[in-house]
Amino acid sequence: MDTKEIVLTREGLEKLQAELEERKGARRDEIIERLKEARGFGDLSENAEYDAAREEQSRNESRINEIEQILAVARVADGDAMSVSIGSKVEIEDENGKRLTFQIVGTTQTDSLNHLISNESPAGKAMIGHVAGDRVSFTTPNGKVRTYTITNIEV
């Protein structure tokens, strides 16, 4: 992972910190117990339980390392109640009156199914710094130009 600053919402930072604590504590202890138990089954070269526990241990340690790297370069977004920024919940309206609501988040928190869009996405970039009432346009990844009016911003 490069040392580029990663911007997170306060919620995102807390979620990562909680995950790290759980992975370093309870999950790590659970995996160690599984390894001890699997060693008791005999020959490690043909021990599927041992292999599965080692693989889980490797995935857990990789995720711990990933989270630690993110937290090392993370910055919590300072939301401005007047303009769209990372952490803002934004309501927009298209030309047909259809309204959408989503939250602008850092790239590591993106989840389109839960209406969390990245500040680096075309829509996110277009809205950062704008205020309610502004019209913004951006080009989607499939080449369509979309225009919306920002109707509401919440921090």
Segment 15-33 shows an average pLDDT of 95
Instruction: Considering only residues 90 and 4, tell me which one the structure prediction assigns the higher pLDDT.
Output: 90
Predicted pLDDT of residue 9 = 75
Alpha-carbon gap, residue 32 to 54, rounded angstroms: 9
Predicted pLDDT of residue 99 = 94
Q: Is the pLDDT of residue 26 over 70?
A: yes
Residue 70 shares a structural domain with residue 104: no
Burial (CB count <10 Å: 0-12, 13-18, 19+), residue 146: middle
Predicted pLDDT of residue 6 = 79
Q: Is the pLDDT of residue 24 over 90?
A: yes
Of 76, 107, 135, the residue that ends a domain is 76
Residue 12 shares a structural domain with residue 63: yes
Of 18, 51, 76, the residue that ends a domain is 76
Query: Quick check: 155 and 79 in contact, CB under 8 A?
Result: yes
Predicted pLDDT of residue 74 = 84
Q: What is the CATH number of the domain that holds 31?
A: 1.10.287.180
Q: What is the pLDDT of residues 68-124, one digit of tens each?
A: 999 998 877 665 457 888 889 999 999 899 999 999 998 889 998 999 999 999 999
Q: For the chain, what is the domain count? A: 2
Residue 99 shares a structural domain with residue 44: no
Answer yes or no: is 83 within a domain.
no
Tell me the whole-structure pTM to 2 decimals.
Answer: 0.58
Q: What is the pLDDT of residues 132-152, one digit of tens each?
A: 889 999 998 899 999 999 998
Answer yes or no: is 84 within a domain.
no
Answer yes or no: is 81 within a domain.
no
Burial (CB count <10 Å: 0-12, 13-18, 19+), residue 87: buried
Predicted pLDDT of residue 23 = 96
Answer yes or no: is 125 within a domain.
yes
Range of the domain at 51: 6-76
Predicted pLDDT of residue 2 = 53
Residue 69 shares a structural domain with residue 95: no
Q: Is the pLDDT of residue 3 over 80?
A: no
Answer yes or no: is 104 within a domain.
yes
Of 76, 97, 125, the residue that ends a domain is 76
Q: What is the CATH number of the domain that holds 98?
A: 3.10.50.30
Residue 13 shares a structural domain with residue 65: yes
Residue 115 shares a structural domain with residue 143: yes
